[in-house]
Amino acid sequence: MRYDRSQRPYHMHPVALRRDAAIDHAAHYFDSGAFRTDLARRIAYRTESQEPSQAPALRAYLSEEIAPQIAQFGFVSTIVEDPRGAHGPMLIAERREDDALPTILAYGHGDVVRGYDDQWRAPLGPWSVTVDGERWYGRGSADNKGQHSILLGGLASAVAAREGRLGYNVKLLLETGEEIGSPGLHDVCRLRRAELSADALIASDGPRLAADRPTVFLGSRGCVNFTLSLRLREGGHHSGNWGGLLANPATMLAHALSSMIGPRGTLEVDGLRSPPLPDAVRSALAGIAVGGDAGDPDIDEDWGEPGLSPAERVFGANTLEVLAFQAGNPDHPVNAIPPCATAHCQLRFVVGTDWEHLEDHVRRHLAARGHEKMEVNVVQASPATRLSPDDPWVRFAVESLGRTTGKPIAVLPNLGGTLPNDAFADILGLPTIWIPHSYPGCSQHAPNEHLLGRLAREGLMMMAGLFWDLGDGEAVRLRAGRRVSS
């Protein structure tokens, strides 16, 4: 179905066909209070994907809120069920102008983490927007309702500025399970590959490098969560009567961990160390400073892989962390040798790491050091993805965002954390451009989550300029260039 230009998109008013008009339109959308109204309406949906009782809210968010709103500027939507039949639905929408034109795929997620209603600072609450200075509080304001609202608002402004025609097609995939690991997303991308085919992904999630530094990231580090555990016997035994006679699994586990992670945080397991840093990645990270915002912790300069800058350590290298360690009864210790000990560990890794054989690498490492009794169990894993900073889509996005903001744009080859970007990069085969509109201190996943109003306004203007520039023939040129290079 092609877009009917007789329809009047929401928040649309006639404007001249020029880039500045798209950006002004986006600024007006914020300044008029319309953006706040839309965001407040969306935050009111209790879309907690961890709570089975909120399944109706997940569906309603897509069918009652998003689908009717985007229909006003030309999208036709379909609600798609989780192929496994166990989790929330997804929305696939398309705004088609011409089959011969390039296509952009946009992505977001409508689910949020639990509200933790009673933990918010009074008079704040998770299911309404409360503005306090530049902070806009509400669950999902930063992750991800605020961010995909900014993306959609910028797109609507570009549509308005071009009087209903963009010069390319747009598809939208909005899921409702990202906060529980995106169950079904990869299956949907495989089963509906043709329906989701596009020339590039443009999405918004995660934080900027810093509040005042517009950022583009091009993928995400992968993640493997695993446990190390050792059970030597049933029940504890008195440490006075049996100390020195019975092996202590907590002590043995501590030694096993210290063999895997050096005293200054270096990763010591062969096969899991970071691959060499590509020149393009090193160059992109050369001007990147990590931290520095109010509330950020001080960086430990002598921790982590030696010879790397802080930015290279978090965006270009692998890290192994101990997330939790348990033996005996930590809250009420008794004079007994514990029968077992468990450590919950996590490997964050970049492209080029042999993460799929993590169990083998860890077992081999431990056995060589006398820890062959240690059990290794992978709990959850997600691949790493990274688009080259030299890619033409990256150069385009950086130029467009810089032109709008007048600021230097931070280019991160990948986010330090993990997103389901492999669904788009690996399954759909797309260059992936992520433009975040949050910041590191947003209390994402915690009580008092918030969006900064000035970042929302700037984000709307950035996205309006970007979507305008794509329609200025840039999408056609980028598609042609990628086809030639491939």
Here the CATH number for the domain that contains residue 40 is 3.40.630.10
Q: Specify the amino acid at residue 302.
A: D
In a domain, 177, yes or no: yes
Query: In this model, does residue 76 exceed pLDDT 50?
Result: yes
Query: In this model, does residue 190 exceed pLDDT 50?
Result: yes
What's residue 168's pLDDT?
Answer: 97
In a domain, 235, yes or no: yes
- The CA-CA-CA angle for residues 385, 269, 209, to 5°, reads 40
Q: Work out the average pLDDT over 451-457.
A: 98
What's residue 480's pLDDT?
Answer: 86
Report yes or no: 437 and 147 within 8 Å, Cβ to Cβ: yes
In a domain, 291, yes or no: no
pLDDT for 191-214, tens place per residue? 999 999 999 999 999 999 999 999
In a domain, 296, yes or no: no
Same domain, 58 and 119: yes
Q: Work out the average pLDDT over 301-319.
A: 95
pLDDT for 176-187, tens place per residue? 999 999 999 999
The separation between the first and the last C-alpha atoms of the chain, rounded to the nearest angstrom, is: 30
Query: In this model, does residue 219 exceed pLDDT 70?
Result: yes
What's residue 367's pLDDT?
Answer: 98
What's residue 86's pLDDT?
Answer: 83
Same domain, 128 and 198: yes
Last residue of a domain, one of 359, 382, 405: 382
Same domain, 365 and 393: no
Same domain, 248 and 226: yes
Same domain, 179 and 249: no
In a domain, 262, yes or no: yes
> Considering the chain, what is the average pLDDT of its residues?
94
pLDDT for 114-169, tens place per residue? 999 999 999 999 999 999 999 999 999 999 999 999 999 999 999 999 999 999 99
What's residue 486's pLDDT?
Answer: 58
pTM, full prediction: 0.91
Same domain, 82 and 191: yes
Same domain, 211 and 252: no
Same domain, 107 and 135: yes
What's the Cα-to-Cα distance from 228 to each of 320, 324, 343, rounded to whole Å?
13, 11, 5
pLDDT for 92-110, tens place per residue? 999 999 999 999 999 999 9
What's residue 1's pLDDT?
Answer: 34
pLDDT for 373-392, tens place per residue? 999 999 999 999 999 999 99
In a domain, 6, yes or no: no
The better pLDDT of the pair 260, 296 is held by 260
What's residue 291's pLDDT?
Answer: 86
What's residue 25's pLDDT?
Answer: 97
In a domain, 424, yes or no: yes
If pLDDT is split at 50, 70 and 90, which confidence band does 295 have?
A: confident
What's residue 484's pLDDT?
Answer: 59
pLDDT for 221-270, tens place per residue? 999 999 999 999 999 999 999 999 999 999 999 999 999 999 999 999 99
The residue count of the chain comes to 486
Query: In this model, does residue 20 exceed pLDDT 90?
Result: yes
Domain encompassing residue 121: 19-220+385-485
Same domain, 313 and 407: no
If pLDDT is split at 50, 70 and 90, which confidence band does 293 have?
A: confident
Q: How many domains does the chain have?
A: 2
Last residue of a domain, one of 346, 363, 382: 382
Q: Work out the average pLDDT over 72-99.
A: 95
* Percent of the residues in the chain that have a pLDDT greater than 70, as a whole number: 96
* Percent of the residues in the chain that have a pLDDT greater than 90, as a whole number: 91
Query: In this model, does residue 301 exceed pLDDT 80?
Result: yes
What's residue 11's pLDDT?
Answer: 53
Same domain, 326 and 405: no
Last residue of a domain, one of 321, 349, 382: 382
Q: Work out the average pLDDT over 338-365.
A: 98
Same domain, 399 and 259: no
In a domain, 241, yes or no: yes
328: domain CATH number is: 3.30.70.360
Query: In this model, does residue 4 exceed pLDDT 70?
Result: no
Same domain, 319 and 202: no
